Chain A
Amino acid sequence: MEKKDNLRKRFVTYFNPVNWQKKTKIITTITIAILIAAFILSFFVPTYDDFVTQTSPTMQEEIQKDKDRKNKQVLQSYNNLFIISYASFSTEGYYAEKDEYIGFAGQIYDASEGFTGFVGEMVNYTYRLLGCGENILHGAKLTIFLTITSVFFGFILSIFLALGKMSKIKLISKPCSAYVFFFRGTPLMIQLFAIYFMVPGIFKFSWTALTGDVYWGAFLAALIAFTLNSAAYCAEIVRAAIQSIDKGQTEAAKVLGLNYRLTMSKIIIPQSIKRMIPPICNEFVMVLKDASLVFAISLMDITTISKTIVSDGSYLVFIPALIIYLIITAFFTYIFNKVEKKFSVYE
């Protein structure tokens, strides 16, 4: 325990700017300044016409012709990254041309190869990952929302499961154990399929009719599957935390005349919550990543969107996808650490 605390102390000292060397401070300040400057400059996007003047003469010609054509042959996208491609089929064969430019701070750079090419692709994928669908940050929003709700409800359910599992009455403890055994012993993917496809089939209803919307129907099914699954994992965490509380606490409560409900709610659970936080954080991060499984029922989360983009042949899309996951994980780990500190006032 002490060793762990020392490690954390060193970690905290290391990341506290007050203790940094002058050199580190300067480098960090400059990096942050550059990032802020880049962010501001990225708003100065060259106009569409500026991009067009940069393209090759044949492409310009095709763009001109395309205005009058019924069947458009020029494909284009326009944001910070300007991608324009032309494809035509004729008796002479297949002809294709693709031009890519990146506009930054009012300047236009060739993005077909080299470093600017790589940067351009990253910008494009990130934009498409986060801005896909009718919402901005659509995928990330879905993932975060699904994770928070399912772990929250799963945790509440798990307290009852854990207490049930520890019950001396076999009629209560056996079903609770069976529940935990079942949901920990089968793949989450199949549980998701079972709830999305099988349950409506057996009970003759449909998720879409229930919520009035295809998307929310799938979301509700996913939410239920994830809640039930994480409840099983959290139940073990809660049980371990409750059993780690000194037996003397229960005895003291009993001697004071507190009944089971009061002992649990006033004495044991408040004390065990602090011990639950690190493993619950772990479980949270697991669910966050497992949430990518919803692509199996066509919910548009980060994974599903990157999967659709990769089908264009843009395999580098997984780099921004991974980075978005990392950022979300880092953010929630930070929050959980704060919460843990808050709960340790009395120690």
Chain B
Amino acid sequence: MSMIKTENLCKSFGSLEVLKNCSLSIEKGEVVCLIGPSGAGKSTYLRSLNHLETINSGKLWIMDQLVDDRHNGHNKAILSPKQRNELMLDMGMVFQRFNLFPHLTVLDNLTLAPINVKNMKKEDAVNLALELLQKVGLSDKADAYPSKLSGGQQQRVAIARALAMQPKMMLFDEPTSALDPELVGEVLQVMKNLADDGMTMIVVTHEMGFAKEVADRVVFMYQGEILEVDSPDVLFNNPKHEKTKNFLNSVLNI
């Protein structure tokens, strides 16, 4: 069973084509890293998976259910909005800029959606939240406001918040790009633990070390196209495309 499958995904902002025929299939328990130069469409691809961006044409399956089947923006997929929203809840997302709710404490950030969307009991939601906070190593920060936390701590709270909805897969949109270098490690460690637990993960990242170590497959994107998909060993050591070689040279040999 594939968790996510895309076929000929296309997206353009006006006349600018951001995604060109992106096809990819992601299996259960897989960790896939998207790499590539900025402006390659990595983030847009990730955002179009959970409908933060609407694609112009192409097909999108989530958990083997056809969610999008678009031609020139018109959706042919037969799925009620309710079913679609339920499928979307299976995808947790972590943003580059954390996007925590600043007016709520860490605990309220974690319990808001489970209580209001999943109709979870308050005690259950709080217990789950505390468990997750312990998992990301922030049990003592439950009553703090996000503004009192460091960037790394905020991102770990954001990961816990996404996990509080008990998703089946996690999307990471450059989770360490907005962090100070010394805070990157703690966030990557949490993500590694998550991967070890068998979570399906799609990670847009510039951390090549993380991609090498954790990813099952690495996807190289360039100017809106998926150029290469391979295991990290092959892609980092023997890239087939000239573009991939250039990119890896510029990133790895600073």
A residues adjacent to B (C-beta < 8 A):
246, 248-249, 251-252, 254-258, 262, 266-267, 270-271, 345-347
Contacts and interface: CB of A to CB of B under 8 A. Distances in A.
Interface in B40-56: 50-52
Given A249-B101, A267-B101, A256 B147 contact: no
Contacts of A251: 52, 95, 99
Task: Label chain A's interface by main secondary structure.
Answer: helix
A257 B165 contact: yes
B103 A270 contact: yes
Given A252-B95, A346-B147, A258 B113 contact: yes
Contacts of B116: 258, 262, 266
7 residue pairs, one from A and one from B, having the closest CB atoms: A256-B113, A252-B99, A248-B99, A257-B117, A255-B93, A346-B145, A257-B89
Given A267-B101, A347-B147, A255 B50 contact: yes
A347 B145 CA distance: 8
Most buried by B among A257, A346, A347: A257
Given A257-B85, A258-B112, 14 more contacts: A248-B97, A251-B52, A251-B95, A252-B101, A254-B51, A255-B88, A255-B91, A255-B93, A256-B117, A258-B116, A266-B116, A271-B102, A346-B145, A347-B147
A256 B95 contact: no
A271 B103 contact: yes
B161 interface: yes
Most buried by A among B52, B103, B145, B147: B103
A193 to B, nearest CB: 43
Contacts of B113: 256-258
A274 B195 CA distance: 40
Nearest to B113: A256
B92 interface: yes
Nearest to A256: B113
A252 B165 CA distance: 13
Contacts of B85: 257
A208 to B, nearest CB: 47
Most buried by B among A251, A254, A255, A271: A255
A255 B52 contact: yes
Interface in B76-97: 85, 88-89, 91-93, 95, 97
Interface string B115-140: 01110000000000000000000000
A256 B52 contact: no
Contact of A346 (B91, B92, B103): B103
Nearest to A265: B116
Contacts of B52: 251, 254-255
A208 B113 CA distance: 51
Contacts of B100: 252
Most buried by B among A252, A256, A266, A347: A256
Nearest to B146: A346
Most buried by B among A266, A270, A345: A266
A132 to B, nearest CB: 46
Contacts of A347: 102, 147
Nearest to A270: B103
A267 B95 CA distance: 17
